[in-house]
Amino acid sequence: MNELIYFPYINVPATDWTIRTLMYYDSISSIVPTQYFYNPKKHYDKHMLELIKNELVIPIDPVRSLDKPREIVEEFIKYITQSDNELIVRRKNFQLNKTFKMHFDKFEYELYYQLEQMGIAKHDRVNYKWYYVELNTAKELMTFLATILSEKLDLGLTTDVIEYRNIGRLETDISIIDKDIVNKRELILRELIPFPHEVNIKKLRKFKDKHHDLLNSFSNKVEQIVLDDNIKLESQLIDERVKELKLRKEELSAKMNEGQLKKIIFGSVCGVIGAFQGLQSADTTGAVIGAIPGFTAAVYSALQIERPENIFDQSGMKYLALVDKQLK
């Protein structure tokens, strides 16, 4: 599954986690209120706008994406009201101001009305587009919505907020995030893609488009480890696998930068040098002769930038070696 849906926030964070995720997956979808589609510059932060512009993040309107949003809301209400004791705890949390701000466009109005009647939500009278919802209820509600949308739209479920991965009490047949798989994958990506804090988003998009086949090879290699039940998260075996991948990545990076001047001189650059030598006979100052080595070195350097893709690789690490060379 190469496309994800992110929750619980609207704006995908400007963090290393986001960059690593975008380097690994085709795109991330975000659950966005209808209002945001009409005036994106007003609502999104600068980083999110850039991601959307380059089609790395895809906004999803939850109400329009679901065929029967009201019926889905009813299922969540049934879950909330099944235990009186649980409802009492939620009301106490709400009174203690343990809340999460939620946009009213993410759900049918009936949901917020019901939550207000239960005493676990309140309309923001200053900014009427938002509701304050009891914290645990809001967490479960966002997990519930994101899970439904992930199944409906065939998207992987992802979040950078650890506490949301531990929500598994919802009475549904839909599996919540497999924490072991997610943690193994993130460990590997964190070790292999130590990315800089500032990344040119447009350049990142072009890089992914150009090297999509290499990304698939890299992804296949990582998933072989992630989905292997014999490789546990905190084990010597996963450490060894990561070390092997890092070593291969470093070897490829070195090959892309090592000297291959002889091959280039006797190849395509030969004709260029010959042309200069032809000019030399008409140059009485001899200046051209002195310029030849510098020119050759310049051509060599330029070709080194363009030719790293020619290096053969079966490890899946060529994608990351190119990341180091072209994006860092």
Distance CA 328, CA 326 (A): 6
Note whether 218 and 309 are same-domain residues.
Answer: yes
- Cα 185 from Cα 80, distance rounded (Å): 33
Domain identity same for 50 and 100: no
Statement to judge: residues 253 and 229 lie in one domain: yes
Residue 233 lies in a domain: yes
Domain match, 242 and 294 both: yes
Q: Are residues 225 and 315 in the same domain?
A: yes
The parent domain of residue 40 ranges over: 3-60+147-167
DSSP string, 20-71: HHHHHSSEEEEE--HHHHH-HHHHS-HHHHHHHHTTSEEEE-HHHH-S-HHH
Question: Are 8 and 161 in contact, with CB atoms under 8 Å apart?
Answer: yes
The two structure tokens encoding residue 246: 């890092």
Residue 86's φ and ψ, nearest 5 degrees, are -65, -40
* Six token digits for residue 87: 């409802």
Query: Environment class of residue 21 by beta-carbon count within 10 Å: exposed (0-12), middle (13-18) or buried (19+)?
Result: buried
Residue that is written with structure tokens 């989905």 in the block: 227
DSSP secondary structure letters along 194-241: ---S---HHHHHHHHHHTHHHHHHHHHHHHHHHT-TTS-TTSHHHHHH
Position 173 in a domain: no
Do 211 and 321 have their domain in common?
yes
At which residue do the structure tokens 């889905």 appear?
72
Looking at residue 177, its pLDDT comes to 59
- Number of domains forming the structure of the chain: 3
**Bond prior to 8 in cis (omega within 30° of 0):** yes
CB 10 within 8 A of CB 30: yes
pTM of the predicted model, to two decimals? 0.76
Domain boundary among 89, 122, 140: 140
Please, what is the angle between helix 212-226 and helix 236-257, to 10°? 160
**DSSP H or E stretch at residue 121:** strand 121-123
pLDDT of residue 97: 94
End-to-end CA separation in angstroms for the chain = 27
CA–centroid distance for 90 within its chain: 33
The Cα 144–Cα 4 span in angstroms is 16
Residue 5 confidence (pLDDT)? 94
Pair (313, 232) in one structural domain: yes
Digits of tens for pLDDT over the chain (328 positions)?
A: 689 999 999 999 988 889 889 989 999 999 999 889 999 999 999 999 999 999 999 999 998 899 988 898 899 999 999 989 999 999 999 999 999 999 998 888 889 999 999 999 999 988 889 999 999 999 999 999 999 999 999 998 898 887 776 665 444 444 455 678 888 888 898 888 866 667 789 988 998 898 888 888 888 889 999 889 898 888 899 999 999 888 888 877 777 665 443 444 444 444 444 444 444 444 444 454 455 556 666 665 665 555 555 665 666 778 888 887 777 6
326 lies in the same domain as 199: yes
* Residue 122 domain flag: yes
Q: Quick check: is 83 in a domain?
A: yes
Please report whether residue 283 resides in a domain: yes
Which of the listed residues 132, 167, 202 is the one where a domain comes to its end? Answer: 167
**292: which DSSP letter?**
H
Give me the residues paired with residue 101 across strands: 132
172 within some domain: no
114 found inside a domain: yes
Shared domain check, 200 and 255:
yes
Phi/psi zone of residue 229: left (φ > 0), alpha (ψ -120 to 50 degrees), beta? alpha
- Are 203 and 318 contained in the same domain? yes
Radius of gyration of the chain (CA): 27
What pLDDT score does 152 carry? 92
Residues 207 and 256 in one domain: yes
pLDDT for res 272: 44
Token pair belonging to 40: 């994106």
Within-domain flag for 276: yes
Q: Say if residues 322 and 308 touch (Cβ distance below 8 Å).
A: yes
Q: Do 305 and 252 share a structural domain?
A: yes
CA separation for the pair 123, 127 (Å, rounded): 9
